[in-house]
Amino acid sequence: MESFGIIRLVGIIIYLYFLWKNLRKDYEEEKIIELGWISVLAFLVGGRLGYGLINWGVWKSLGDWFLVYSVSGFDYIIAGVFFWISIFLWSKLNDIGKLVIADNIVLVFWLMVVMFLMDEYVRSIFDTRVIGLLIASILSMGGGYVVTEKYRSFSWYKSGKKGFVYFFSVILFFLINYILSFIFDSSWKFNWLFVILGLIFGVGLSMLGDVWILNTPKNWWLQLKDTWKKKKEN
């Protein structure tokens, strides 16, 4: 109970601080504070609600759903889903580019997740599933940090748009989890989940970056039309 209160609280404080630090030059302070608390609440509610629904019956009373400090149970994948939905909805309501916000806070998000998982690791008596998520989160944060200043120099990422760090780190998270799922003998359902989600985000990154692979069929078709047109003219 003490480790839960201290480590996770520190994670939330660190997240809120760096969120404010990263966004303070471009947005009003009140808006940043609002975004911070909304996203934290969404993360906590999503993780708790997701765990309870997936493991229905694990808690004996209604009160157990809310006793976060004394009753264990948290689903990090669903917590992440709720977190990013709240970020994107807030961005839309405030007419702010959602991928600009995502790129600015995704590394801080991973840092908060790492803090939560460190606590979970201790409380779960070294559960291998938690180790897998912890490793994937650390590497995703590190990978995102490495490409933060470099992605615009990638020749295949033609658009140079914001959002690369977000998509890249999330794809990395699912890819690493997929690999680790074999090492830690996870359910095959999770293996396929990681693959499907990774592919969805991969397509999203390709569309965002105007990647040449997606444009190739279109270019072929245009070239074919031009060739046919020239033949007809001749």
Which residue range is the domain that position 192 belongs to?
Answer: 2-233
DSSP class of 138 = H
Say what the pLDDT of residue 225 is: 61
Higher pLDDT, 205 or 143: 143
Residues ≥6 apart with Cβ < 8 Å to 130: 117, 120, 121, 124
**DSSP per position, 52-103:** HHHTTTSSSSGGGGT-TTTS----HHHHHHHHHHHHHHHHHHTT--HHHHHH
Q: What is the mean pLDDT of residues 64-74?
A: 62
Domain count, the chain: 1
Q: Tokens at residue 203, please?
A: 């397509």
Chain CA centroid to CA 234, Å? 55
> What Cα–Cα distance (Å) separates residue 4 from each residue in 75, 82, 142?
15, 21, 25
Higher pLDDT, 34 or 122: 34
Higher pLDDT, 33 or 223: 33
For the chain, report the end-to-end CA distance as a whole number of angstroms: 82
Say what the pLDDT of residue 88 is: 93
**pTM of the full structure:** 0.79
| Per-residue confidence band for 3, with pLDDT thresholds at 50, 70 and 90 | very low
For 99-131, the pLDDT digits (tens) are 889 989 999 999 999 999 988 877 766 667 788
Say what the pLDDT of residue 180 is: 83
Q: What is the mean pLDDT of residues 38-57?
A: 84
